[in-house]
Amino acid sequence: MSMLLKTILNYTLDFKCFVFKKIVLLESNETPRLEIEVAPRKRSKGICSGCKNKAPGYDTLQVRRFEHIPMWGISVFFIYAPRRLNCPQCGIRVEELPWGNGKRPLTNQYADFLSHWAKRMSWKEVAEAFHTSWHKVFISCRLAVEWGREHMNLDNIHSIGIDEVLWHRGKKFITLVYQIDSHCKRLLWIGIGRTKATLRDFFKWLGTEKTAALKYVCSDLLMSYLKVVQEEAPQATHVLDRFHTVQMIQKAIEKIRAEEARELKADGKKELLTKTRWVILKKPENLTQKQGERLETLLKQNLKTVKGYLLKEDFKRLWDYISPYWAGKFIDRWTRKVMYSKIEPLKKVARTMREYKPLILNYFKAKKNISQGIVEGFNNKLKLTFKRSYGFRTFEATEIQLYHTLGGLPCQKFTHKFF
């Protein structure tokens, strides 16, 4: 039995200078476990963790346990006492271990295995599925992210999208920068806040040379973003993307509805707008039958909300235009209609659109070069990730999870694939 296990271990792991010794199955605990003693191969010198050269032994540290990938629902631990070496170059150093860092309580292979599943499940679920702790899943993902960020390729980044979202139960903003080229879409960078300093940190990270290669930058109209992009990447075309343009109108509609609902309530006619929030925010084609019927009766009312809704729907035709010139004409007509409507929140949107019309028209100029709807897609994935990671208190955990799931990071290769 133990011979066959050793054969499997040697088949899946490439520990040239180490051998597997005694294997015991402990059944007393809640989760049964295999303890596998590991020892250095006879007469083999240790490898210095500093310079990666062979070095003579100095002493041996206490026995440590390293958690490895479970088999048949049985936890697996390697038991090993790391040697300290007397390296002529580095002095007294702990030896290099083929399964990982002497301080980390799990093997590289197990960390890779856990981080693989953490892309598909929440960290809590991964911990439960493999009878391990949340913390071990966390350090596994951190390891994968650190390795991936170190080895990621930053060549050929031409288009980026900047987005800001609320984090920490809606209390703090974080800024996210995505690569949105048609050949590569991924989360590039995350920072706390949405100030000028935040975005400057991103450009610092990207470096002067790569920044100079940027052709398109998409973002909403946040002043701090507009200014910093202008300073750092003046050669790039700044685009107010579709997602953020629509979001601007959506927010105005929500405001109109909320205000009008308050007025109607005061007049004792609150039923006119009850249960209409999603009806007017959702795309008509996504409404349930009941919501569709609600919309029909709502549209018969003479309400500001209805007028606003119709203007919002009318605005959608903008995205069918190909030529920036005709798109511009459409914006002129639409904003004129809005100014006549006397609905204040929408008038504010119209004024902003007039002021930043070139940025919206840049969308039509850049259309072929940037991936459509990608910022919105990432924004949705982000919300899903936040939902899954509810209760993450630290920014570090959030950051690692986002890089891990959305960063498209390269992975370390191992001799055997465990999943």
CB of 17 to Zn ion, least distance (A): 16
Candidate segments 82-90, 241-249, 325-333, 379-387, binder of Zn ion by CB under 5 A: 82-90
Spacing of C-alpha 417 from chain mean position:
25
Of 5 and 90, nearer to Zn ion (C-beta) is 90
**Burial of residue 29 (number of CB atoms within 10 Å: 0-12, 13-18, 19+):** exposed
CB of 126 to Zn ion, least distance (A): 36
- The whole-angstrom separation of Cα 201 and Cα 152 is 18
Of 43 and 52, nearer to Zn ion (C-beta) is 52
Q: Does 51 bind Zn ion (CB under 5 A)?
A: yes
Q: Does 48 bind Zn ion (CB under 5 A)?
A: yes
- The stretches of 79-133 forming alpha helices (DSSP H) are 108-117, 123-129
Of 87 and 306, nearer to Zn ion (C-beta) is 87
- Using the CB atoms, write b or e for 332-362: b if 16+ within 10 Å: eebbebbeebebebbbebbebbeebbebbbb
* 80: three-class secondary structure by DSSP: strand
- The whole-angstrom separation of Cα 115 and Cα 93 is 29
Which residue from 13, 36, 87, 346 is in contact with Zn ion, where contact means CB under 5 A? Answer: 87
Q: Does 90 bind Zn ion (CB under 5 A)?
A: yes
Q: Does 230 bind Zn ion (CB under 5 A)?
A: no
Of 90 and 397, nearer to Zn ion (C-beta) is 90
CB of 48 to Zn ion, least distance (A): 3
Of 81 and 90, nearer to Zn ion (C-beta) is 90
- C-alpha dihedral sign at 278, 284, 287, 289: positive
CB of 44 to Zn ion, least distance (A): 16
Q: Does 50 bind Zn ion (CB under 5 A)?
A: yes
CB of 366 to Zn ion, least distance (A): 52
Candidate segments 15-23, 84-92, 157-165, 337-345, binder of Zn ion by CB under 5 A: 84-92
CB of 52 to Zn ion, least distance (A): 7
CB of 93 to Zn ion, least distance (A): 6
Give 314's Cβ-side CA count (13 Å radius): 14
- Report CA-CA distances (Å) from 127 to 103, 121, 131, 134, 398: 20, 10, 6, 5, 17
Helices (H), strands (E): how many in the chain? 16, 14
- The whole-angstrom separation of Cα 206 and Cα 201 is 9
CB of 66 to Zn ion, least distance (A): 22
Of 49 and 224, nearer to Zn ion (C-beta) is 49
Of 48 and 327, nearer to Zn ion (C-beta) is 48
Q: Which residues pair with 76 in a beta bridge?
A: 34, 68
Residue 229 in contact with residue 199, Cβ under 8 Å?
A: yes
Of 49 and 335, nearer to Zn ion (C-beta) is 49
Candidate segments 48-56, 106-114, 139-147, 351-359, binder of Zn ion by CB under 5 A: 48-56
Q: Does 89 bind Zn ion (CB under 5 A)?
A: yes
Residue 346 in contact with residue 252, Cβ under 8 Å?
A: yes
Site of interaction with Zn ion (CB under 5 A): 48, 50-51, 87, 89-90
